[in-house]
Amino acid sequence: MKKWIAGMGMLLLLTACATDEEEQTEEAEADAPESEEEQTVEGEGGGFLWKIEEGDTTVYLQGTIHTAFADMYPLNSELEAAYEEADVLLPEIDWPRMDPSGGLNEEEMMDLITFDDDTLLEDVIDEEMYEEIVTIMEAQGMPEEVVNSLEPWYITSGLQEEEEGNATFDAGVDWHYLERAVEDGKEIEELEGQIISLLALNEQSLELQLEQLEDVMNPEDVDMPDVDGDDMVEMWLEGEEEPLIEYWEEVTYGEEYDRVYLWDRNERNADIIDEILQEDDGQTYLALIGAFHFFIEPGVHDFLEERGYTVERIN
């Protein structure tokens, strides 16, 4: 039976993903498939890599997957070589050391996640859904008065169905390389940080927020692709770009959704990488950015090509 895991929005949800790393890794290893056909051959798997050179500076762009299998490392030689060459890692977020508040204090956070006017949650959803949400959130220690003031995007980000599978967040490609970087003394510079994700979610129209909330509260009514987290990892390991694109096209809510979750952030990250290349400090950088930020056009590399850079596909 499925059950809801509820947190106070994305902040606690992501914080929970970042706890008890050793225990989660052990569970993933214990549950990993045993057949030879299902196991990934170490050193051969791995997704998508691009390279840009400008003067004495090199930037690798790696399309990552945020949840993965603990036993799939090392990845293929091209990805491993890019990591070894890198002086600086550029993740979207430094997940193991993420500040869940995005650097906001309590007052700033409440301003961000609550309605700007006198609108209440109960004004924009039906009574049955409202009561169910209040029950879930009260069980997590959030009083109804606060719940009723929250914008739908914040509630949606903290209400997810529990999924079975071997892929875990602390085995994700980003997490793997970020932890190695700390051990190896490499520098880490966030491209976004948690605050950019929060601001992006907050920019969604009320209509889009409500559409997503409706789906997360009534998953049995949603026609989702027959693809789970483990399947996504296998696609990534095999370098299967088209099935991943098809998956996104089936789950997206349309142009506004793509703009908020991908395009605006892609252009912003391309701007940062452009600045690094123009500065030309002679270092090598490895940008760790979710793979969908490259597949769903315009991707990060597309924006960089528009700025005149030659972007070489490595893997």
pLDDT in tens, 98-145: 988 888 999 999 999 999 999 999 999 999 999 999 999 998 899 999
Q: Which residue has the higher pLDDT, 208 or 194?
A: 208
**CA angle, residues 271, 14, 106, in degrees to nearest 5:** 85
Mean pLDDT, range 44-54, rounded to an integer: 87
Strand order through the sheet with 284-290: 187-188, 88-91, 284-290, 57-64, 48-54, 312-313
Residue 34 belongs to some domain of the structure: no
- Per-residue pLDDT, 60: 98
41 located within any domain: no
Task: Tell me: pLDDT of 187 over 50.
Answer: yes
42 or 170, higher pLDDT? 170
What is the reported pLDDT for 177?
97
- Would residue 125 count as lying in a domain? yes
Q: Count other C-beta atoms under 10 Å from residue 89's C-beta.
A: 25
Assess if residue 53 is contained within a domain.
yes
Number of structural domains, the chain? Answer: 1
Say whether pLDDT at 31 is over 70: no
Question: Is residue 12 predicted with pLDDT exceeding 50?
Answer: no
Mean residue pLDDT of the chain comes to 86
CB 67 within 8 A of CB 169: yes
- Token look-up 């510079």 returns 189
Contact 73, 176 (CB under 8 A): yes
Q: What average pLDDT does the segment 41-70 reach?
A: 88
Question: Which structural domain range is residue 201 located in?
Answer: 4-22+47-313
Residue 238 domain-assigned?
A: yes
Asked, for residue 151, whether it belongs to a domain, the answer is yes
Kindly indicate the confidence band of residue 157, based on its pLDDT and cuts at 50, 70 and 90: confident
Does residue 218 belong to any structural domain of this protein?
yes
**150 CB neighbour count, 10 Å cutoff:** 21
Is the pTM higher than 0.95? no
Does 37 map to a domain? Answer: no
Instruction: Give the pLDDT score at 162.
Output: 60
Element (H, E) at 45: none
pLDDT at 24 over 80: no
